[in-house]
Chain A
Amino acid sequence: MRRSGPMGAAFLITAKDLRQRLRDRSALLVAVVAPLALAFALGVTISGFSAGSRTFQLGLVDLDHGPAASGFSRAAADTPVTLQDAGTRARARRLVKDGKLDAAIVLPRGLSAATLGGASVRIDVIGDPKNSIGTLVARSFADSYASYVRTIAVASRALGSGSAATVKVAGEVASAKSPISVGDVSTTKKNLDPKTYYAAAMAVFFLFFAVQFGISSLLNERSDGTLSRMLAAPIPRRSILGGKVMTSLALGLTSMIVLALTTRYALGAHWGNPLGAGALIVCAVLAATAVTALVATFAKTAEQANAWLSIVSVVLGMLGGSFFPVAQAGGVLATLSKLTPHAWFLSGLQDLSSGGALGVIVEPALVLLAIAGGCGAVALVRIRRLIEP
């Protein structure tokens, strides 16, 4: 059945646009392939498949040949650190430099004696500045040992006793349970993994490109001369506009839904309550369509529109935290971030996927709708100049 009237014409235009975009595959690339590829790349590199289980290989150079080395090995038991004998100092340096070890710790001669009140010594931590994390891990590890030795020194000094007593104190310190324990409760937290973040971040980043195939294609129609032909046909202008808006909405919604489902099932991203995620997606698509429509009304040619839209989409995406959690910086950047639809969409989704009730999306959804309404209204006032031959 062929629909007629203004709505029918609008649908025809939408259908024509969608066919065109599907045929040259550009929509597929921008709306699906690009965000998926990037969500995968960022999810894998930044979060890693098993980042939580990363262990650090530290080399141990034992010049002390006393009980200190075994104390070190004991201390490594419950930490993400694996100690291995690195032989000599020179060999340890080479292994660290070649990246075979994350860092190395040199236990100096006299370390065990220093523990029991002997002369002061120094533990050397050999690190590669390129592997600053490994170096810091080794450093913290050595620092903890230094604190342990300090405990013995402080207790013996306070007691004011001789060397025989120091040995006894050392024994007590070694067997003393730490008064402060650090309980890792990370696993009991709702797992808000970077995978979900980047899936959503890339989806909303490329959403701004996907919706450009709608309104801003009016400029292409004009330069190709097809707009004049549409205007010459018995089609009301609002049908042309309606058709273009529907193209944007259809592409945006399809893109977001396909991405949500694909990342959910293929990457294991948590989008949270489907109803809430759906509502946020609809609001984000409306906001993206309105923002791009507004930008397009300022352009004179299709090339100009493309350039400005790319700039606006990239800047908003960067500030909105699509690539880096910008809000981490605090201050001006965090405030600027709040001006972007991306930031609101992402924070709403994060609250939702960390197990929040539906209520958590009210504020971000309203802000997105306000952006859509505000930009949409101004765009509507200015849009007549786009629908002119």
Chain B
Amino acid sequence: MRVLAIVRTELTRVFRWRANIFFLLIMPMGLILLLGMAFGNSNTRVGVVKGESGSLARQLVAELGLQPGLETRSYGNKSALEKAVERGYVSAGLVIPGNYDRLLRTGKPASIDYFARPDSLAPQVRLAVEAAVSAQGSDLTAARIFQRTRGGTLGGALERVSAVKVGSPVGVRLLAAGGGKYPRSRGQFQQSASTQLLLFAFLSALTGAVWLIETRRLGVARRMLSTPSSTREIMLGIMLGRWVITLMQSLLIVVFSWLVFSVNWGDPLGTGAIILAFSLVAVGAGLLIGTLFASEQQAAPVGMIVGLTFAAIGGSMAPLETFPATMRKIAHITPHAWANDAFNTLLVNGGGLSSVWLDVVVLCAYALVLLTLATWRLRRVLTS
């Protein structure tokens, strides 16, 4: 088969260049590791300055740490904490005043300074802080009412109240909207694996446009055309070659991340469909760029720009759910957003192929448009 011969040539050319192994495989795995280590536990970090650290201050910090999705870090003073918030090491900062315990134990109100980065996690942190504060405020308010009714000191009332071991008569239970229990938090590398798979499959397919230009520049295309192969066979060979490379890359990322980081890839049919459809989109976009530009020096940066920008907008750098609502709508211009949505449904909610069919259809539509355009351009640049 002449088509297969062209596919084989494409593969040989790509893998003969060792650096490609780095970009196709080592780089994505490195990032999955890096992101998993940095953000994998998905807890939001809150920095705390504890002041003189009385027992009430310590109790508040412990209460904060108990809030779901929150994790505390201690800082020695306010300016160190401010710096940490500014640099994004923690999402928000709380400064518990030095006289916190004294104020509260003498029945005076205490005020905690709170500051956050102006990002989309801020409201969540704010409410979690409120919840922790109201949990601590519970005993204090009860003690004040006790003191007002029975007299005595506030300290005595606090002791009396703390001795009452009673939970809230109102419990809170989490349920998943799709039915059943709300899933526990995912593995450390779960989120980064699927987002980085998309980022790199697309990026590599786009920067692969350079190879198509080289095919023309070195005259490989002309030589292929002088053989008895038809233009159609050559185009099919080139496209299949690029598709096989993208699929191989995706498959290797799936297998390695499963083996090394125990990433769960969910329903094989669903994941397979997403990867097949998305890789077609990527190949179409890559071929289109490869046919729109004349030199490698232009195509390479354009591929990088489009590849990284789409990944950023489409939720492969920061998760879509942290986007503001309007931005989330705009994000769905990119195929990444649809694929990320599909992976979320599959991997977070544990759905199957039937729950992601719409996303897959949209991806197929993208692929169809891009591949049609690319075929049309490819025929022109090969035969002109």
Contact = CB atoms under 8 A, between A and B. Distances in A.
Interface of A: 24-26, 29-30, 33-34, 37-38, 41-42, 44-52, 54-56, 79-81, 93-94, 96-97, 104, 111, 114-115, 117-137, 139-151, 153-155, 157-159, 169, 172-173, 176-186, 188-194, 197, 209, 303-304, 307-308, 310-311, 314-315, 318-319, 323-330, 333, 347, 350-351, 354
B209 to A, nearest CB: 13
A121 B38 contact: no
A176 B38 contact: no
Contact of B182 (A127, A185, A190, A326): A127
Contact of A125 (B42, B111, B175, B348): B175
Contact of A47 (B119, B130, B326): B119
Contact of B169 (A37, A120, A177, A191): A120
Given A26-B301, A51-B324, A131-B321, A37 B309 contact: yes
A127 B176 contact: yes
Contact of A140 (B110, B122, B128, B160): B128
Contacts of B345: 130
A154 B161 contact: yes
Contact of B114 (A34, A97, A182): A182
B109 interface: yes
A94 to B, nearest CB: 8
A149 B144 contact: no
A144 B134 CA distance: 6
Given A169-B145, A185-B114, A330-B89, 7 more contacts: A51-B119, A121-B170, A126-B175, A180-B137, A183-B112, A191-B118, A192-B117
B168 A146 contact: yes
Contacts of A191: 118
Nearest to B315: A45
Contacts of B169: 114-115, 117-121, 149-150, 153
A54 B123 contact: yes
Given A149-B169, A310-B19, A41 B119 contact: no
B264 to A, nearest CB: 14
B309 A136 contact: no
Q: Chain A CB within 10 Å — which of B31, B87, B150, B318 has the most?
A: B87
B244 interface: no
B309 A41 contact: yes
A292 B139 CA distance: 62
Given A79-B126, A324-B38, A326-B38, A122 B22 contact: no
Contacts of A173: 141-142, 145
A90 to B, nearest CB: 11
B260 interface: no
Contact of B145 (A47, A120, A172, A351): A172
A97 to B, nearest CB: 4
A338 B349 CA distance: 38
A137 B114 contact: no
A308 to B, nearest CB: 7
B166 A153 contact: yes
Contacts of A328: 38-39, 45, 88-90
A121 B171 contact: yes
Contact of A179 (B22, B141, B331): B141
Contact of B160 (A158, A181, A193, A333): A158
A141 B110 CA distance: 22
Which among B31, B169, B344 has the highest number of chain A CB atoms within 10 Å? B169
Contacts of B68: 136, 139-140
Given A147-B135, A183-B112, A333-B38, A125 B305 contact: no
Interface string B288-323: 000000010110111011001100110101100111
B131 interface: yes
B175 A127 contact: yes
12 contacts: A46-B317, A79-B130, A80-B123, A120-B169, A120-B171, A124-B174, A140-B127, A155-B145, A180-B136, A183-B114, A184-B115, A190-B86
A329 B218 CA distance: 46
Contacts of A111: 170
Interface of B: 17-19, 22-23, 27, 30-31, 34-35, 37-39, 42, 45, 60, 67-69, 82-83, 85-90, 94, 104, 107, 109-124, 126-131, 133-142, 144-146, 148-150, 157, 160-161, 163-164, 166-179, 182-183, 295, 297-298, 300-302, 304-305, 308-309, 312-313, 315, 317-318, 321-327, 331, 344-345, 348-349
Given A149-B169, A154-B138, A44 B120 contact: no
Contacts of A304: 19
B318 A45 contact: yes
A126 B173 CA distance: 9
A350 B86 contact: yes
A37 B315 CA distance: 16
Contacts of A117: 169
A318 B69 CA distance: 26
B88 A128 contact: no
A329 B37 contact: yes
Given A128-B178, A135-B182, A186-B118, A180 B104 contact: yes
A54 B116 CA distance: 14
A146 B170 contact: yes
Contacts of B318: 42, 45-46
Contacts of B148: 172
Contact of A38 (B171, B312, B321): B312
B207 to A, nearest CB: 9
B126 A184 contact: yes
A144 B119 contact: no
Nearest to B88: A325
Contact of B134 (A33, A120, A148, A153): A148
Q: Which of A52, A130, A185, A193 has the most CB of B within 10 A?
A: A130
Contacts of B308: 34, 38, 41
A129 B182 contact: yes
A180 B109 contact: yes
A44 B327 contact: yes
B133 A150 contact: no
**In the complex, the 7 A-B pairs of residues with the closest C-beta atoms, listed nearest first:** A307-B19, A150-B168, A329-B38, A48-B324, A26-B297, A155-B142, A96-B177
